[in-house]
Chain A
Amino acid sequence: NAGVTQTPKFRVLKTGQSMTLLCAQDMNHEYMYWYRQDPGMGLRLIHYSVGEGTTAKGEVPDGYNVSRLKKQNFLLGLESAAPSQTSVYFCASSYWLGTGDQETQYFGPGTRLLVL
């Protein structure tokens, strides 16, 4: 049981390049999330998904796109990277909310992205 995994762990991009971050979970969780973490700002939600085939915007969605074609995978795309997107990106997953003891969110190890 690997939990939540993220690929890659570290990446350097040039301004204008594109890339996709992959998140995978093997816990059969319905909900998946992408956050970015910047110094002094905690975790900010980029996009989330409440089930296969669904996505929704979070607090800071601009410049990112996501897809959830399979329940276990949640992809985060940067179409044209900008230096402001330099950050640490975390994926997380949880069971559907409102079911009692299932609300705990589990995190991947993070992806460090540097945009030059």
Chain B
Amino acid sequence: AQTVTQSQPEMSVQEAETVTLSCTYDTSESNYYLFWYKQPPSRQMILVIRQEAYKQQNATENRFSVNFQKAAKSFSLKISDSQLGDTAMYFCAFTSNTGNQFYFGTGTSLTVIP
């Protein structure tokens, strides 16, 4: 069974600083996909970034980047130059080519402090 673990329930960062959110997962699959979703107070789930397991290069999207360590089954999200609008709940998620489901972590609540 697939599991996704986010061990940091809450984090805070000063505006303009860098913060890293942790995520680990457990799977026996060889081909899979990892995601970070952002959920602001509006509750809308917004895709931040995705990573294909077969790609060694870490995905980046503007100020958001990941550190994907396949052997360690780790998938952390780095937010650079944090902005007030980054305040949200962040969820790590997993899916694979052989499954029909997505698996989510319990989330990390990030607060950006002005």
A23 is an interface residue with CB less than 8 A from chain B: no
Q: CA–CA, A88 to B106, complex, Å?
A: 15
Q: Decide yes or no: A104 and B50 within 8 Å by CB, A58-B101, A97-B100 being known contacts.
A: yes
Interface 1/0s, chain B 91-111, versus A by CB < 8 A?
A: 101011111111011110000
Chain B residues with CB under 8 A of A110: 43-44
Whether A107 and B45, one on each chain, are in contact in the complex, defined by CB atoms closer than 8 angstroms, is yes
Whether B44 and A42, one on each chain, are in contact in the complex, defined by CB atoms closer than 8 angstroms, is no
Chain B residues with CB under 8 A of A45: 101-102
| Dominant secondary structure at the B interface | loop
A74 is an interface residue with CB less than 8 A from chain B: no
Chain B residue nearest to A33 in the complex (CB):
B102
Q: What band does the interface of chain A fall in when counting residues whose beta carbon is under 8 Å from B?
A: 20 to 34
Q: CA–CA, A58 to B1, complex, Å?
A: 13
Chain A residue nearest to B45 in the complex (CB):
A107
In chain B, residues 36-68, which have Cβ atoms closer than 8 Å to a Cβ of chain A?
37, 42-45, 47, 50
Q: Decide yes or no: A97 and B105 within 8 Å by CB, A103-B33, A109-B43, A110-B43 being known contacts.
A: no
**Given A40, A42, A48, A88, which contacts B101 in the complex, CB threshold below 8 Å?**
A48
**Given A42, A48, A94, which contacts B105 in the complex, CB threshold below 8 Å?**
A42
Whether A107 and B44, one on each chain, are in contact in the complex, defined by CB atoms closer than 8 angstroms, is yes
Q: CA–CA, A35 to B50, complex, Å?
A: 20
A76 is an interface residue with CB less than 8 A from chain B: no
Q: CA–CA, A103 to B33, complex, Å?
A: 8
B35 is an interface residue with CB less than 8 A from chain A: yes
Supplied contacts A42-B106, A58-B101, A104-B35, 9 more A-B pairs, CB within 8 Å: A40-B9, A40-B106, A42-B91, A43-B104, A88-B43, A98-B97, A105-B35, A105-B93, A107-B45
